[in-house]
Amino acid sequence: MALFGKMDTSGEKAGGTNEITDVEKVKVLIIGSGPAGYTAAIYAARANLSPVMYEGLQPGGQLTTTTEVENFPGYPSGITGPEMMEDLKKQAERFGTSVRFGMATKADFSKRPFKVTIDDKKLIEAEAVIIATGATAKYLGLEDEKKYAGGGVSACATCDGFFYRGKDVGVVGGGDTAAEEALYLAGLCNKVYLIVRRDELRASKVMQERVFNTPNIEILWKHQTKGLFGDGVVEGATLLKEKGTPNEEEVKIKIDGFFLAIGHTPNSDIFKKYLETDETGYIKTVAGSAKTNVPGVFACGDVQDHIYRQAVTAAGSGCMAAIDAERWLAENPLK
């Protein structure tokens, strides 16, 4: 699911004229919610920047699909993802953030004030912009992934691996991400099945060697996932070995957790005309800051982080973005 619209830089409707008449001027616009966006909002609001936030189609971001969060500081008994996001939202609103439902569909960062269109209906003109649109985990597209969401299906081993200590799990993928997830889980779980579609890994040689030398990782070469099964929670997976060949064979494995490690898609499409991104689409920021290549536009959270992708690091980068924005605005008042 795309959380923010594809790029449309025409600024015009099909009829050839710009029909948007609802225009609002704001000091700081925050695009996207989640730990990064809400934290940026808290800091920006406390700096009297009167931030306006548009949450996107998934208010609270990826954490709203997580049942239990146990690795975020300050919650000794753990907390559900939706509860945590609601707490952060209330905290942002307490200091004066205007939190709104809506999706950014167009962007123009060619000059100040920066222009962002919401739902193709409303134009926001902002003195500074903080992008916190996150990244969307890639899934196989199986109906069972939705059926068992929060019941054994995960796209983050670091987030959820702890819940599968001593159990058997499966990891789908063959690149560096899959190798890293499998190795992390191998330190917690009884057995890790690495489900690889091809007859080789795409991971770096160093990562491959680590996987090969880890005794409780079993690689299932030339296997593809057909579906999952279990009574309310994942209890196993049905795989197809050598799918589409005369040797095709159905294989069932017993697992308690099913981890997707086939990558993420950063939600950056509508900004690519103006902002530098890497080959995957992650927005590039100046090291040690949230600054992009466009002065006055800042990025935080998973939309610019392809390494850590944790709630706590997203929150930290949201803080950085708000502080960077506050200082930049003080030095560059809009005339």
Q: Which of 225, 187, 227, 183 is nearest to 207 (CA)?
A: 183
CB atoms within 10 A of CB 78: 13
CA quadruple 298, 302, 180, 84: dihedral positive or negative?
positive
Is there a catalytic annotation at residue 160? yes
DSSP string, 131-199: E---EEE-----HHHHHTBTTTEES-HHHHGGGGTTSEEEEE--SHHHHHHHHHHHTTSSEEEEE-SSS
* Tokens found for residue 34: 């989640």
Query: Catalytic pick from 144, 160, 269, 302?
Result: 160
Catalytic one of 144, 156, 302, 324: 156
Would you call 159 a catalytic residue per the annotation?
A: yes
| Cα–Cα distance for residue pair 135/296, rounded to 1 Å | 22
- In the residue annotation, 231 being an active-site residue is answered as no
Nearest-CA neighbor of 69 among 133, 187, 154? 154
Residue 97 backbone class (left: φ over 0; alpha: ψ -120 to 50; beta: rest): beta
CA 266 – CA 131 distance, rounded (Å):
11
Q: Which of 8, 120, 144, 159 is catalytic?
A: 159
Which are the catalytic amino acids?
156, 159-160
